Amino acid sequence: MVEAPQTEEGWFALHDFRSIDWDAWRDAPERERERAIEEGKRFLRHREQVADADEGDSGLFSVLGHKADLLFVHFRPALDDLSSIERRFENTALAKFTEQTTSYVSVTEVSGYVSDEYFEDPESVDAGLKRYIEGKLTPEIPDDEYVCFYPMSKRRGEEYNWYDLSFEDRADLMADHGEVGKEYAGKIKQVIASSVGFEGHEWGVTLFGSDPTDIKDIVYEMRFDPASSRYGEFGEFYIGRRFPPADLGAYLAGETVPTGEGDGDEGGHGEGGHAHGEGGHHGEGGDHGADHGGGHDHAGSGGGSAHGDHPHGEEEASGEGDHPHADEEDGEGGDDASDADIRGELADLDIYAGKPSGEDVYATVLYSEADVDELFDEVEGLRGNFDHYGTHVKTAVYEGRVTDRAAVVSIWDTASAAETAAGFLSELPEIVARAGEESGFGTMGMFYTVKPEHQGDFTDTFDDVGEILAEMDGHVETDLMMNVEDENDMFIASQWHAKEDAMAFFGSDEFRETVQWGREVLADRPRHVFLA
């Protein structure tokens, strides 16, 4: 019997497609339309806040064409959670103006295509792969992105039958498939979920991207790959655009959404997006392999999870009763607010700190104990792919002076691209940590470009400051790391147990004097950033 890979399941997914009864909407009294909008916004806002479960994510999308008008995407830990969501929506005033044109039920999963080690000895799996697996099992929906959804199956014909192939042959095909998809890293995020036993097709594929032509290009290019050309069968394709629940009224009035006016109200839709799942392997069922680079076992298969083979008192009708603070204004996410607070405090100290790693860019930093030359060769190969994308700013290797490890720093224009790059970089040799995982508070990263004639002075001064740091409360470790391609480009990674400890250093006279001196020896303005 042909070997089927082991699988582990994660969150369940519901893609709920709705059409609007536009005649009924136009004929309805104004107060009915207003009530429908308010109840619809409240329902959708609570779904995005995941007020109905301990975990999950939801998103609202407009859909183009005749097949539907709206798409609700929900990820939840249990199938019953999705059933409850469907029924709660039917109790809103908005529901009577809609018809469910189609829906799709599936469950996320990972399989032996990702790594046999994960199933045989989970504790031996490296941290980067664990993050990847968690992202695939518990996906989050990118903010302000176009979406494409389609179902697919693997062919079971007389000439080409996917399920008659050996495990090794399938793994090799998916590895080649993933190589093509790697070209779209940073542009496309995918969620592939198994629907074997749930739907007529075997997988539901959801693609997210900021440019809809990237979605077209990746699907088209993958059609020429044997894993799709010989073995792929596809259902209807749907294309749409995410918008916040606050814009529901604008959508129904025929305005372009997202309007950009209501994002701050919703609490689930802001700049930078979510942290989960940006790096991932191409799943066997999908028509692409955009999220992640090389695989682990089976000749570097980029295959994702597979089911056998995965590719890739009474509540009011409005639904108000499902959240303990239904009438309160939604706040900003805690992590984003904390990061903004830290940067604000640095600004109060007259210390430059924009977004992570600079004014308008985002950074991801990973540490490796591999030989620096070997590490650089690997990074140089990845960097060649990164350079194809306009969002890529810089990727470099920094060698430590105090520690026996190197830092790989990758800087991008968007948070989602930086997270996707982290998925690739996590598979570099001997990765031991990611910035923000080393201590209770994390890393304060400081980037400096030194004038060549002052390079020695700068390192000497750092050594003096390092002696002061060693005596400070809450200090874990600080290292001055040099770019292996440019000794004048330096990265100081400073780890602290608590935010208060780090801020005490940044507010100290010693640091202030160093900054003043640095204005004479630096080639440009330094960047001081929080990387946790």
**Both tokens of residue 289?**
């392999």
Sign, Cα dihedral of 113, 116, 120, 123 = negative
**Both tokens of residue 359?**
């004014």
Q: Which amino acid is at 352?
A: Y
Catalytic residue among 146, 150, 251, 367: 150
Rg (CA), the chain: 25
Q: From CA 458, how far away is CA 405, in angstroms rounded? A: 21
DSSP bridge pairs for 300: none
Q: From CA 297, how far away is CA 45, in angstroms rounded? A: 41
The helix/strand/coil state of 8 is strand
Cα–Cα distance list, 350 to 441, 445, 458, 496 (Å)? 22, 16, 21, 21
Cβ proximity of 239 and 65 under 8 Å: yes
**Both tokens of residue 169?**
């042959």
Q: From CA 340, how far away is CA 346, in angstroms rounded? A: 10
DSSP bridge pairs for 495: 443, 477
Cα–Cα distance list, 499 to 173, 227, 443, 494, 530 (Å)? 48, 50, 10, 12, 10
- Dihedral (C-alpha) 405, 410, 411, 416: value to the nearest 10 degrees? -120
- CA angle 226-231-235, nearest 5°? 120
Cβ proximity of 522 and 465 under 8 Å: no
Closest CA to 272 of 190, 214, 337, 329: 337
Q: Give me the helix-helix angle, 415-425 and 372-386, nearest 10°.
A: 140
DSSP bridge pairs for 206: 149, 191
Instruction: Return the DSSP state at 358.
Output: B
Cβ proximity of 132 and 278 under 8 Å: no
User: Quick count: other Cβ atoms within 10 Å of Cβ 277?
Assistant: 27
Q: Give me the helix-helix angle, 509-521 and 455-470, nearest 10°.
A: 170
Task: Tell me if residue 113 is catalytic.
Answer: no
Q: Which amino acid is at 244?
A: P
Could you list the active site residues? 150
